[in-house]
Amino acid sequence: DIQMTQSPSSLSASVGDRVTITCRASQDISRWLVWYQQKPEKAPKSLIFGASNLESGVPSRFSGSGSGTEFTLTISSLQPEDFATYYCQHYNSYPLTFGGGTKVEIK
Amino acid sequence: EVQLVESGGGLVQPGGSLRLSCAASGFAFPSYWMGWVRQAPGKGLEWVAIIKPDGSEKNYVDSVSGRFTISRDNGKNSLYLQMNSLRAEDTAVYYCARGATRDAYFSYWGRGNLVTVSS
């Protein structure tokens, strides 16, 4: 099974800050990676697919990069509505696996 | 508008069974991969199962293989998860999710349905 490791597990940031979250795969997954945002008591929402493709309707302050085993999600200027938990997930093979999540909190 | 509405959750004793349903609308259900993802209270996301549009291919996470069965009825635009031999560690919110149009990730999710396994 492919293990997905996210870091950090949590972070505190202020509105306007640039935030970067890292996701590492235990083996090469090419660009078969998606990033989700989840707010409390809500379903996850896909933000970035194919490692760097922005979903329709997602603000351009979100961006993704990487390939192979190392990936990043960047929020260029954190907004109040961005405080949430972010998950990466690979879809290279079965079983599909998620990272442990990164909780972005208000500083 | 894509809508996925789960039902069938609740409290069940260890060793018991439960069947989750997901009613889909707003898209051509027979054309999409569909799956289930769960989230234990206060924990992260865990993929459970996935099914091909025509139902001919199914895959499961090892921890539920042999106990859970994913199925679909394309005539009723519905997805199901039959859960047998339930364990305390199966306690979670179960999300129904739709595959993306061109990629194999989940682009739409239901609101989730809580399954609690406890005596």
Answer for the pair B111, B96: CB distance below 8 angstroms, yes or no: no
Of A45, A50, A101, nearest to B44 by CB-CB distance is A101
Across the interface, whether the CB atoms of B103 and A43 are under 8 A apart is answered no
Residues 59 through 88 of chain B touching chain A, CB cutoff 8 Å: 59-62
Diameter of chain B measured on Cα atoms? 43
Backbone angles phi, psi at B98, to 5 degrees: -105, 140
Question: With 0-12 CB in 10 A as exposed, 13-18 as middle and 19+ as buried, what is B52?
Answer: middle
Q: What is the pLDDT of residue A106?
A: 87
| A85-104 pLDDT per residue, tens | 999 999 999 999 999 999 99
Distance from CA of A6 to the nearest CA of B (A): 12
Q: What is the pLDDT of residue A2?
A: 97
Q: How many residues are given for chain A?
A: 107
Nearest to B36 by CA among B88, B89, B78: B78
Give B93's contacts in chain A (Cβ within 8 Å): none
Distance from CA of A91 to the nearest CA of B (A): 6
B34-39 and B92-99 as β-strands: parallel, antiparallel, unpaired? antiparallel
Q: What is the pLDDT of residue B16?
A: 98
Q: What is the pLDDT of residue B10?
A: 97
Mean pLDDT, contiguous 10-residue spans, chain A (107 residues): 97 96 98 97 96 96 98 97 97 96 94
Distance from CA of B53 to the nearest CA of A (A): 17
Q: Does A36 touch chain B (CB under 8 A)?
A: yes
Q: What is the pLDDT of residue A28?
A: 98
Tens place of pLDDT per residue across chain B (119 aa): 999 999 999 999 999 999 999 999 999 999 999 999 999 999 999 999 999 999 999 999 999 999 999 999 999 999 999 999 999 999 999 999 999 887 889 999 999 999 999 99
Beta-strand (E) ranges in chain A? 4-7, 10-13, 19-25, 33-38, 45-49, 53-54, 62-67, 70-75, 85-90, 97-98, 102-106
Q: What is the pLDDT of residue A51?
A: 97
In this structure, which amino acid lies at residue B58? K
Give the side-chain half-sphere CA count within 13 A for B90. Answer: 30
Across the interface, whether the CB atoms of B109 and A45 are under 8 A apart is answered yes
